[in-house]
Amino acid sequence: MRLTVIGTGYVGTVHAACMADMGHEVLGVDIDAERVSALSRGSPPCYEPGLSEILVRTVDSGRLRFTTSIKEAARFGDTHFVCVGTPQLPASGAADLRFVEEAVAGLAAGLSEGGLVVGKSTVPVGTAARLAEGLCAAVPGADLAWNPEFLREGCAVEDTLRPERLVVGVRSSAAEARLRAVYAPMVSAGVPFISTDLATAELVKMASNSFLASKISFINAMSEICEATGADVLTLAEAIGRDSRIGPHFLAPGLGFGGSCLPKDIRAFTARAEELGRGESVAFLRQIDEINTRQRLRAVACAERLLGGSFTDRNVAVLGAAFKPFSDDIRDSPALAVADAAQRRGAQVRVHDPEAVDNARAAFPALQFALDVTKACEHADVVLHLTEWPQYREIDPAALATVVRAPNILDARNTLDPTTWQAAGWTLRALGRPRLG
């Protein structure tokens, strides 16, 4: 099939490359000419395991190419995936839909009868129905569907090629049949294909992210109670996670969530519920957001205590800049929020990350950066472990102790082995684990 993908950011690039790898002919569209040029050479706009190899393979095969012309895209295929961003509006927390609206309008200007526009962007419930009404008025015979993405950064290629489920919101049996054909290899392999209406498809994405955010903030709230009572949050999380009704996933106590999805999506969901007169139904999401933000403040306070009460003129080493491992995404990164807070309180901060240094340097020029862990930790008065990259668990504490000024470490992600670090002479603190102190 001939597909187009409008928007070649994180979601769009992964979707375009994976659809081409499945055998479709794909045309990716972006207004950024430099990005289009880089993609045409097989260079992705972000770090994602496995993406570069697929991109090079599909570009070289001729099944995937890129353009800046949405008119060309409208003529190229009959199924058009909209993968543009929906950032948060600063004043209200609601989603900014202008990029989605512009993409659909741009397609409509050149779309032929029978064209299907498929939204993958995360939007407030009701958006798809409104866009469908406008599209069908402009192009009789066209249709619109919604197909939310459920990608985990660091696992996006796997999640696209072997998803846990496919959700499509459609208005016609023809649209459902078209999407079944697009995803035929996955459906044949047994991936559940859930066909529903537009509103339910939109809500599946928002509800999923809200539930995941709730689990993360729940265990972090429990970590505060653990600190007040002397309990251990890791044992608590293991015990409640063994209940089959709860499960262990997303019960990892630590610095909280960040990135481009969970924070903005729960705020946008809250804003939309209030517009619908049902704000009380999701009022708890404001508390979820507050708990998550408070984790960053707790980490800053704990680091300050390790320094004797002040960051002024102290050297702080930060391990991690990306909001999660296996990504170079720094959007709403808890790690960088803590690093920036320490710098603003008078510390000299040096940050290391395996993939995100360039992005972090551009966004936080006042911070210092290092390309290896040892350099980042030279003469440090405290080391802050803020992103759970696996290579940080492999650090030799005894060797690192020889380069720091004071062997103090905050494990804000609760993934380091405290026994090993303490045996090497380190003072280790971890959120929700007061017995380590």
What does the pLDDT look like over 259-312, one tens digit per residue? 989 999 999 999 999 999 999 999 999 999 999 999 999 999 999 999 999 999
429 a known binding residue? no
413 a known binding residue? no
324 a known binding residue? yes
Indicate if the pLDDT at residue 437 is higher than 70. no
E strand spans, 386-424 = 408-411
pTM: 0.93
Q: Is 302 a known active-site residue?
A: no
pLDDT: which is higher, 165 or 91: 165
211-250 residue pLDDT tens: 999 999 999 999 999 999 999 999 999 999 999 999 999 9
Indicate if the pLDDT at residue 92 is higher than 90. no
Indicate if the pLDDT at residue 132 is higher than 90. yes
Helix, strand, coil percentages, rounded to 5, for the chain: 45, 15, 40
Q: Please name each of the domains of the chain with its CATH number.
A: 2-196 (3.40.50.720), 197-437 (3.40.50.720)
* Residues with Cβ within 8 Å of residue 302, at least 6 apart in sequence: 410, 412, 429, 431
63 a known binding residue? no
Judge whether 261 and 86 are in contact, CB under 8 Å. no
241 a known binding residue? no
Buried b / exposed e along 217-242 (16+ C-beta atoms within 10 A): bbbbbbbbebbeeebbbbebbeebbe
Position 33 scores a pLDDT of 97
What confidence category does residue 61 fall into, taking pLDDT thresholds of 50, 70 and 90?
very high
Check 18, 83, 226, 261 and give the catalytic one: 261
What confidence category does residue 419 fall into, taking pLDDT thresholds of 50, 70 and 90?
very high
Task: Give me the amino acid identity at 341.
Answer: A
Pick from 380, 392, 391, 385: nearest CA to 428: 385
Phi and psi of 322, rounded to 5°?
-65, 155
338-360 residue pLDDT tens: 999 999 999 999 999 999 999 99
* CA gap 334, 320 in Å, rounded: 10
Indicate if the pLDDT at residue 123 is higher than 70. yes
Position 16 scores a pLDDT of 98
* CA gap 381, 347 in Å, rounded: 10
